[in-house]
Amino acid sequence: MKGTLRLMSAAGALMLAATAAPAMAGTTADLLKRLHEKGILTDDEYQELVKGQATETAQAAAAPAPAVTPDASGGAGYVRMTESGVGLQVGDVALKFSGSVNGFYVHDNGDAPSATNAVTGGVATVGGSTSAVRNGLLPGFLKVEATTTQGGWDVGAHFGMYPGINSVSYSGGGANSGGNPRALQTSGIDFRQTYLTFGRAGFGEVKIGRDIGLFQSESILNDITLLSSGTPAGNVAPSNTTLGRIGTGYIYTDFQPQITYTTPSFSGFTASIGIFEPLSSLTGPAETNKQPGFQAKFVYDGKFGDVATRVWLSGTTQKHNVDLGPDYTGWGWDTGAKVTFGPVTVVGTYYDASGLGTTALNLFDTDGLGNKRDSHGFYLQGLATFGKISVGGSYGESNLDYANAADALANPTLVDKNSSWVGQVRYGLNSWVTLLGEYVNTKSEAHNGNKATSDAIAAGAILFF
């Protein structure tokens, strides 16, 4: 009985030693030796405990370390900030929020209405002087992305919400319908982006969902009015956005459902090709389209000494199945280049199309009977940056031809050309906010000689994070 009590006392002492001084080498062995020397442990008890302790030590050394559940304390670098935007990375998953907010005071002075300035499809303001506080070509946006690497593949889920600051009517255009400048209204939230991606080095990337198109995407993404106003359009009752240079240099690329594959970069060259949801005409007869649309884009990025270049070529084609009329196939291509040398960046673009119309995809694309109208356009642009100040300017135009002589007789006021001059000044207040001032002269000309002009000034700011 006494031996048992002594063993229990020794065991208690061992537990106390392990708890009080786990990091001290030899603590248990030293304690057993002292207990033996003081006569608390007999020789047999001492040898038994030493043997048992040696066995436990060997087992502990062979056993795997217990799993540790990381927390948000920053231990082992488990949670860290993302490289851009606002977000964090937890384990192998990065969650990022990025976005933009903008607003401008826009004063637009257009011609008073008359019989000689009616232009069907014109973008110049007709109706006198108007003022508004509104978004520019971009609405605000909030993009949420979750990305990770799983099984050797880089994958991501992407969501982009684009809210405007102005109230909309929600009639005929959803979140981007005509403006409704009255009390107790709400702004439009355009959910433009919902797509997934997967890819890896040497393979490229696949995108499935709704995102910006390929045809004419480079034209709008390199346009200086993307950050400002450009042609106001609808300034008396502003909607989510202005036009920028849409319709006065290029056709709007739009955000479209698609399955697109992009190759890896080969010495600066990348190619993208996609299958797209077919779009019906905005102004033609009813359609029941049975085949998808197809788009492709080729890009080269290179540097020659101090000169950086980006060159692109893109195209689109889609067959339209008209319910009551002949089918037709719309197609188009565009090309352009961006060259940067020192503080100066120059951009030049050109597009040519048939059965695509003008300003928006499939707007005034045919005479309504399946006979296609051809269109073409371009813009030239320069921007020079000196410290925090940038000064830029551009000119562009979009042209639309008649389908045939009968079309000319039936639609005498159809737009022949929309064009605009833009002058712009930017000041980088800090890394988030840019202040902008702009002057825009817009002209719309009909095939019968009708003409409308408008002059606009815009001043405001845009923020990116």
Average pLDDT in the 153-182 region? 92
Residues 423, 295, single domain; the answer is yes
Residues 147, 38, single domain; the answer is no
Q: What is the pLDDT of residue 205?
A: 98
pLDDT digits (tens, 9 = 90+) for 377-423: 999 999 999 999 999 999 999 999 999 999 999 999 999 999 999 99
In a domain, 257, yes or no: yes
Q: What is the pLDDT of residue 410?
A: 96
Q: What is the pLDDT of residue 172?
A: 77
Q: What is the pLDDT of residue 23?
A: 38
How much of the chain exceeds pLDDT 90, in percent? 77
The count of domains in the chain is: 2
Average pLDDT in the 298-325 region? 96
Residues 55, 169, single domain; the answer is no
The tokens of 147 are what? Answer: 């990305």
Query: Any residues with CB less than 8 A from the CB of 88 and at least 6 apart, and which?
Result: 79, 80, 81, 82, 94, 95
d(CA 385, CA 52): 78
Which structural domain, as residue segments, surrounds residue 193?
Answer: 78-464
Residues 52, 144, single domain; the answer is no
d(CA 24, CA 435): 64
In a domain, 130, yes or no: yes
Q: What is the pLDDT of residue 16?
A: 36
Confidence of residue 153 (pLDDT cuts 50, 70, 90): very high
Q: What is the pLDDT of residue 458?
A: 98
Residues 281, 222, single domain; the answer is yes
In a domain, 456, yes or no: yes
pLDDT digits (tens, 9 = 90+) for 193-225: 999 999 999 999 999 999 999 999 999 999 999
Average pLDDT in the 425-438 region? 97
In a domain, 434, yes or no: yes
C-alpha distances in Å from residue 354, one per residue of 293, 375, 399, 410: 15, 6, 12, 20
Residues 21, 142, single domain; the answer is no
SS3 category, 35: helix
Q: What is the pTM of this model?
A: 0.81
d(CA 100, CA 105): 17
Residues 115, 43, single domain; the answer is no
Does the pLDDT value for residue 60 go beyond 70?
no
Residues 40, 92, single domain; the answer is no
Average pLDDT in the chain: 88
Does the pLDDT value for residue 81 go beyond 70?
no
Residues 25, 149, single domain; the answer is no
Average pLDDT in the 321-349 region? 96
In a domain, 72, yes or no: no
User: What angle, 0 to 180 degrees and rounded to 10, lies between the N-to-C axes of helices 2-20 and 43-62?
Assistant: 40
Does the pLDDT value for residue 140 go beyond 90?
yes
Confidence of residue 11 (pLDDT cuts 50, 70, 90): very low
Residues 99, 46, single domain; the answer is no
Of 121, 141, 102, nearest to 242 by C-alpha is 102
Query: Any residues with CB less than 8 A from the CB of 291 and at least 6 apart, and which?
Result: 278, 318, 319, 321
CATH of the domain at 242: 2.40.160.10
In a domain, 117, yes or no: yes
pLDDT digits (tens, 9 = 90+) for 221-250: 999 999 999 999 999 999 999 999 999 999
Q: What is the pLDDT of residue 74?
A: 47
Residues 315, 414, single domain; the answer is yes
Residues 97, 58, single domain; the answer is no
In a domain, 73, yes or no: no
d(CA 257, CA 277): 6
In a domain, 67, yes or no: no
Per-residue exposure over 195-216, b if at least 16 CB sit within 10 Å of its own CB, e if not: bebebeeeeebbbbbbbbbbbb
Does the pLDDT value for residue 89 go beyond 70?
yes
